[in-house]
Amino acid sequence: MFETVIGLEVHVQLNTKTKLFCSCPTSFAEHQNKNTCPTCLALPGALPVVNREAAVKAMRFGYAINANVNHVSTFDRKSYFYPDSPSAYQITQLTKAIVQKGELFIDLEDGSQKRIGMTQAHLEADAGKNMHEGNHSKVDLNRAGTPLMEIVSEPDMRSSDEAVAYLKKLHSTVRYLDISDANMQEGSFRCDVNVSIRPKGQEAFGTRVEIKNINSFKFVAAAIAYEVQRQTEAYEDGVYEQEVHQETRLWNVAEGVTKSMRGKEEAADYRYFPDPDLRPLVVTDEMIEEAKEIPELPDAKVARYVEELGIKKADALVITALKEMAYYFEEMLKYGAVAKTAVTWLTSELLGRLNKAGLSIETSPVDAKALGILVSKITDGTISGKGAKELLDHMMEHEDRDIDALIDELGLAQVSDDGAILAIIDEILANNQDKVEQYKSGKEKLFGFFVGQTMKASKGSANPAKVNELLKQRLNS
Amino acid sequence: MITLKEALTKSSEELEELKAELEKKAKGSGLNAYVGFESSGEGVPILVKDNIQVKDWSVTSGSKILQGYIAPYEATAIKNLKSKGMMAFGRANMDEFAMGSTTESSFYGVTKNPHGTDRVPGGSSGGSAAAVAGGIAIAALGSDTGGSIRQPAAYCGCVGMKPTYGRVSRFGLAAYASSLDQIGPITQNVEDAAILYDAIKGHDDKDSTSADFEIEDIANNLNPDVKLTIAVIDDHISQADTDIQKAFASTIKALEKAGHTIVHKEMSNTKYDIATYYILATAEAATNLARYDGVRYGTRAESNTTEELFFNTRSEGFGTEVKRRILLGNFVLSSGYYDAYYVKAQKVRHLIRDEFNAIFADADLILSPVAPSVAPKIGANEDPLEMYKSDMYTLGVNLAGLPGISLPVAKNDEGMPIGLQLIAKAFDEKTLFNGAASMEKAVNYTK
Ligand SMILES: [Zn+2]
């Protein structure tokens, strides 16, 4: 029996206004090489200056994962020639990263949590992009110098499920902290996976294989599964030494396999050394204060939802998994929605409609205010659940958001007036004397019949709770 | 040639005439001190070393690899001097990427020493020093990584000053060794050096290694009558030629006569300076010069693959000395050698700084030779190791980040100038210039 050992390295693109070492914008540029300057083009004589915002965002991440935030950190040069790396070295933090030794708690299937150690998170500059067109190669340096935070975990994960849970937690954490868009498709959240196996009970780690640049959680799971199988088979066939090398492999989506990226003989020598253009990054008290402004994170939200709002933990996990969903939910409560009802209306009614329409919570045509008011109207009896669904359907298609006016307009108001309901009840009872007798002699099942008849006669507009209450009064008198 | 101080009083018409005259004289001089006659700004023309960026100029660091490159931005030092009544005029020849002590490694050919045209002007700022000494520039900017301002000034008989590391912004100075490079003035006299230094110094947000504190103007407060304690390192002097030793002895006498106190100090052998410097400077240079790859600017060699593009461009674009230093730098940084060379050299660098600081506990300045000999003949230094050794007196100042100034004190029998340097503690340019002004007066050097 084997144990899988997984460690993850995640590159998160920080959502700063400007690049890590120059004042070029990080925003989308219409033209190639537009967002460039002498520094990010590596012209002779240009120098780097550390972006304060990037440092504060990295520090914020550090505080959020209970890490040591180093008040002094240093930058190193990592040398390699590549057309999209203008200075032919990447400025990174090898020896003393800004964030060291943190922890992240992942949520497992059985509802428990597991602690994953975090080795470090450091700042580094991204490269540009090479584009190949026919016989030509072009270089676009708009992205060159964009700040990345590389987050390195301890080899604490033991299954692909744990690895995916870690990535999901990390993904939601950086998004809650508003330090990254973390868009995997666009490459602002990139993961490299280190996988090894060892016989159960063995303490020493096996040979670590790195799988680079996998751009979805699904592929992470698939790549790990493939790699574990490959390594296990090699072990069982007695060819582990020959077939499992410390190397970098790439996930091949089409074939569903990992493939060796380069020969093991060509281990790169990056010739790291401290960047003499940059003094150590010394954080100021103001930076620390800013970095410590941390919004409520998923774990704290789940606890609060369960304890204070009385929501089921499973529901709380669903709502908090996405920052936008949690904020939507909390906004609904501000407009009078009762928490438990809000959960149902958000997670099943709204999400169901959004999914069908190919939309998401971020692109929802119905905002939290409208849905919050709608839910409050159910609770106070103004409309029935059925009426509310009709109203939500209407709002999905129309822009008017005056809920009271819409209820009138669509004739969804519930009749809660005692007199009006009693008039209907009395008519029903008068027309069904025989059944009233049967009820009074013990056939209590008939109560449902009277409710149904009353609702039908009111064309569904009577408040069912009221109908129940008044019927009981009349029948038991 | 009129001094910088005098030139700053001239009208713009007079300065225009002066500029035209400089160009004519420079072209007729046969010194090959200028490699271009570009002009930028208004005011007193200052010659600029070919590694300092002036917007819209072709700035090439004396290298083939940067032919065709036009600087799209301006160095902070140039911006600063333009705001002080000066302009950039002409590019000065230099050793390729400031790597050399003779200006022989330039793509543009060797510059000649105005005191003997069969001799080198020193380097790497050889064009700047030869032009100022040869009367074809009022003043010039150079850069000093291991003596590249002070040594050519000494060889050519003019004044060359290297500021404390961090005093002058390096933004726009094509990097050789980032932790050692400083831009500084090369002038006809000490006061001019102070004027030009004042003009270019100051904090710069664009240079993270720039020192961030207010500094007073030096030139207006220059005091040659101040009495100082000046240290000499007897051991070091014994390694210089007899000519230099003689000049050193008579300078000490002149300084004592002027009221200064001489104290005798010890320092470890300069061979450690040489080893430390050639490890650290080449390590930094190897990465600083990695950007010259033919992808974005400069010359690009014929190639069929990316690897060939890098390989051919750099093989054809760099000269021998630059290649030697890139190889050396990559070697000392490579895995397995990093600790033995780079890390050890960093430790020695701290020890060298400590030794200087210990001396400055008892002295205001240190007096030292600049070079062990007068300017050698062109082509005399075939062995690179011999050339490296000739930097023995200047490297320590860069390794410790200190300010130093070289000024001429005498000529030898062949009429070749001999320069000596004063060294001050970090950020004490005021004492450095006061001492230099006093020494200039005391030695009464005639051009
Ligand atoms: Zn830029």
Angle in degrees, 0-180, between the axes of helices B190-200 and B429-443, rounded to the nearest 10: 160
pLDDT of residue A80: 93
Model pLDDT for residues A454-477, shown as the tens digit of each residue: 888 887 788 888 888 888 888 887
* B49 part of the active site: yes
* Cβ within 8 Å, pair B287-A79: yes
Mean pLDDT of A385-404: 92
Could you please state the CATH topology (level 3) that the domain comprising B4-222+368-419 is classified under: Amidase signature (AS) enzymes (3.90.1300)
In three-state secondary structure terms, B143 is: strand
Is B409 within 8 Å of B445 (Cβ atoms)? yes
Amino acid at B242: T
* For residue A266, pLDDT beyond 60: no
At residue B388, the 3 state secondary structure works out as helix
- Name the amino acid, one letter, at A374: L
Q: How far is the CA of B169 from the centre of ligand 1 (A)?
A: 19
Chain B residues lying within 8 Å of A74, measured CB to CB: none
What whole-number distance in Å separates Cα of residue A144 and Cα of residue B122? 40
In angstroms, the first-to-last Cα distance of chain A is 74
Most confident listed range (A100-114, A258-272, A458-472): A100-114
pLDDT of residue A385: 87
Compute chain A's Rg from CA coordinates.
30
The pLDDT of residue A135:
84
CA B166–ligand 1 middle distance (angstroms): 23
Q: How high is the pLDDT of residue A264?
A: 45
Phi-psi region of A386 (alpha: psi -120 to 50; beta: other; left: phi over 0): alpha
AA letter at B436? A
Burial string for A74-105 (b: 16+ CB within 10 Å, else e) reads bbbbbbebbbbbbbbbbbbbbebbbbbebebb
Which pLDDT score is estimated for B281?
Answer: 98
At residue B170, the pLDDT reads 98
**Which residues from chain B sit within 8 angstroms of residue A271, using beta carbons?**
286-287, 330, 333-335, 338
B293 lies within 8 A of chain A by CB: yes
DSSP state of B3: -
Q: Check if B388 contacts A (Cβ < 8 Å).
A: no
Residue for token digits 């070295």? A89
**Nearest residue to A53 (alpha-carbon basis) of A92, A25, A90:** A25
Domains parsed from chain A with CATH numbers: 2-290 (no CATH), 298-409 (no CATH), 418-476 (1.10.10.410)
**pLDDT for residue A265 is more than 70:** no
**A423: pLDDT strictly greater than 90:** no
Alpha carbon distance A380, A364 (integer Å): 25
Ligand 1 centroid, distance to A32 Cα (angstroms): 13
Residues of A in contact with B170 (CB under 8 A): 45, 47
B350 touches chain A (CB under 8 A): no
Q: What's the average model confidence in pLDDT over A248-266? A: 82
Give the DSSP letter of residue A330.
H
Written as six digits, the tokens of A343 are: 């959960």
The position carrying tokens 């920080």 is A14
- Token couple for B115: 């005191």
**Cβ neighbours of A46 in B, within 8 Å:** 73, 171-172
Residue B146: name the closest of B337, B343, B392 by CA: B392
Has residue A263 got a pLDDT over 60? no
Residue A184 pLDDT more than 80? yes
- Give me the tens of pLDDT residue by residue for chain B, a chain 447 residues long: 999 999 999 999 999 999 999 999 999 999 999 999 999 999 999 999 999 999 999 999 999 999 999 999 999 999 999 999 999 999 999 999 999 999 999 999 999 999 999 999 999 999 999 999 999 999 999 999 999 999 999 999 999 999 999 999 999 999 999 999 999 999 999 999 999 999 999 999 999 999 988 778 999 999 999 999 999 999 999 999 999 999 999 999 999 999 999 999 999 888 899 999 999 999 999 999 999 999 999 999 999 999 999 999 999 999 999 999 999 999 999 999 999 999 999 999 999 999 999 999 999 999 999 999 999 999 997 888 888 989 999 999 999 999 999 999 999 999 999 999 999 999 999 999 999 999 999 999 988
Contact between chains at B206 and A49 (C-beta distance less than 8 A): yes
- For residues A434-457, average pLDDT: 88
Q: Looking at this predicted complex, what is its ipTM?
A: 0.97
**Greatest extent of chain B over all pairs of C-alpha atoms, in Å:** 70
DSSP assignments along B24-52, one per residue: HHHHHH----EEEEEEESSSEEEEEETTB
Q: How confident is the model at residue A415 (pLDDT cuts 50, 70, 90)?
A: confident
- The residue among A271, A281, A284 with the most chain B CBs within 10 A of its CB, best to mutate, is A271
Residues of chain B contacting residue A135, judged by C-beta atoms under 8 Å apart:
none
DSSP A390-435: HHHHHHHH-----HHHHHHHTT-BPB--HHHHHHHHHHHHHHTHHH
The closest of B327, B287, B315 to A271, measured between CA atoms, is B287
- H/E element, B15: helix B12-29
Q: Is B368 a catalytic residue?
A: no
Instruction: Return the domain boundaries, chain B.
Output: 4-222+368-419, 270-346
Size of interface A-B (CB pairs under 8 A): 101
> Between chains, do A41 and B296 touch, taking CB under 8 Å as contact?
yes
Closest Cα to residue B356, out of B424, B299, B302? Answer: B424
State the best of B91, B97, B291 to mutate against chain A, taking most chain A CBs within 10 Å: B291
* Cα A92 to ligand 1 centroid, rounded to whole Å: 17
Asked if the C-beta of A201 comes within 8 angstroms of chain B's C-beta atoms, the answer is no
Which residues 154-173 of chain B have a CB within 8 Å of chain A?
Answer: 170-173
Structural contact between residues A169 and A104, judged by C-beta atoms closer than 8 angstroms: yes
Give the pLDDT confidence of A400-414 residue by residue, as tens digits: 889 999 998 888 888
